[in-house]
Each structure stands twice: as C-alpha cells, then as structure tokens.
Structure 1
Amino acid sequence: MTPQTPAAAAHQNLVHLTGRISADPETRVLPSGDELVSFRLVVRRDAAALRRSKQLVDTIECTVWRAALRRSVARLAAGVEVEVQGQLRRRFTSGGGSTASWVSVEVDSCRRLTPAAVASDA
C-alpha cells in the first residue's frame, strides 16, 4: 500500500441516500455478458434547497453490479423506501453519431427501511 498525501486522502466519492424506488428494478445483460440491475431512487430535497428551487425531489439512477446484491435489489418493488450507499460514476453511451453521458450511483449496499425508520426521517 502506498502512502497518500494529505490532499489525496481528503478526496472521497461516497454517497449515502434514502428515498423511494420509483419503479420496479430492471435487470439487463450487457453485450459483454455482464449483468446489472438498475433502478431510480426518488429523494426529497431539504428545506434549504426548496428556497432556491420549486423542485421538491430529485430522481437518481442507481446501478448494482455485485451478484448477491443484484438478486436482493431485484426483489424490491416500486414504492419501497431504501437506504443506499455507494459512489458516483459517470456513464457514457453512443449511438446515432452522438455520445451522451450521465451520472449514476454505483451501489455498494442497499437496505429496505422499515416504516418506523421512514417516519423518524420525515
């Protein structure tokens, strides 16, 4: 393991979100043969953000690659409240002569929230 400089050690790509799954997760097989599960997470904005914008929520694309976690997430349904942890990743796709990019959360953990946990967050 190589030592890190103080500036490099301060860099982190960690995401922690709680929200509601907007639609049933989708399983896809890529041309490479890799399999992934993706879903969109609806996250409410806080009061400070509402002073700057009338948008009440953000919808965030989440992607799951690990097999055990894919199986678990694939069983979730629209409307379920979850807590997600992972990292932001920039994704690219090309087609029709153009390239598009977007940011998604690459999920490391996802746990279903109990109704009591959801109520205490509100």
Structure 2
Amino acid sequence: MGREQVAPANAVQLVGRVSGDPTERELPSGDRVVQLRVVVPRPTRRGRAYAGTGKETVAKKPMAGDRPRAQVDTIDVACWTGRARAAALRLPDGAGVQVAGALRRRFFRTGSGRVSRYEVEASVIRRVDLV
C-alpha cells in the first residue's frame, strides 16, 4: 500500500472583504491590471473563522472584560483578464468577495533595485454576502 499520488497544483480560494477601493493601472507594456486587497479572517484554534469586520486588526493581549480581537490576513490580488478587471472595479470598500486564482510571484524594479512580491492572480472574482 503506497502513498496517494496527486498532481502538482497552484489553486487559491479566498472569501473575505475588500479593503480600500480597487485601483486600475496601465503598465509600460500596455497591459492593464486591477489591484485590490482582500482581508480574510484567520481560523481560530478550533478551526472556525472569526467574524471579521473587514478592517485589519492587530492581536493584543486581552484586558479583563475585553473581547479577543480577530486576527486577519491581508492578501494582494491582481486581476489581469477583462472580466476579472471589470468585476473587481465594481467592488466597493468593505464588500464581501470570493476570489479563485493562483499564487504568483512578480518581479519588478524600483529605485532601490529588483524586488519581488507574492499576490493572488484572480481568474474569477465575484461579490458575495458574508455570513
């Protein structure tokens, strides 16, 4: 009896809130990209997600009578296709959003040299109502 065989995959599924308004840029190549940030609550130790407010919070040591603050991850999302760009531009700050795509590492030059960053390249993006 051997291990299960699986094919390599790069698939990302996010459900969270839009943080700030999406922005569209035209690159020197002429390509257009819409970028946005999605705030996603981290699971609790019991495996359930915190009820997020859509605003990034920082964990702190709770004081007597304080409710614990939610911990979140803020994920950069890039929309390159016409359909994904159009959908992203309709999302207001704080809207619930579902993103399907792949994790990408982009390289670019700044005044201080070559740098890289990770972002989710969205293939599907849609507004949703969060519970």
- What TM-score range do you get, normalising by the shorter chain? 0.7 to 0.9
User: What amino acid does structure 2 have at the position aligned with 1:37?
Assistant: V
1:81 and 2:78 equivalent? no
Tell me the equivalent position of 1:104: 119
Structure 1, unpaired ranges of 5+ = 1-5
Tell me the equivalent position of 2:23: 26
Tell me the equivalent position of 2:53: none
1:37 and 2:37 equivalent? no
1:57 and 2:78 equivalent? no
Q: Distance in 1 between matches of 2:33 and 2:104?
A: 14
CA positional deviation for 1:68: 2.0
Structure 2, unpaired ranges of 5+ = 50-58, 60-69
Q: Percent identity?
A: 40
CA positional deviation for 1:97: 4.1
User: What amino acid does structure 1 have at the position aligned with 2:21?
Assistant: D
Task: Please identify runs of 4+ aligned residues in structure 1 that moved more than 6 A.
Answer: none
More helix per residue: 1 or 2?
Answer: 1
Query: What SS does the aligned partner of 2:21 have?
Result: coil
Q: Distance in 2 between matches of 1:95 and 1:63?
A: 19
CA positional deviation for 1:95: 2.1
Greater Cα radius of gyration, structure 1 or 2: 2
1:14 and 2:11 equivalent? yes
Contact 2:42 2:72 in 1 (8 A): yes
Which range moves more in the overlay, 41-50 or 85-94?
A: 41-50
Count of aligned pairs: 108
Query: What SS does the aligned partner of 1:22 have?
Result: strand
Tell me the equivalent position of 1:3: none
Query: What SS does the aligned partner of 2:20 have?
Result: coil
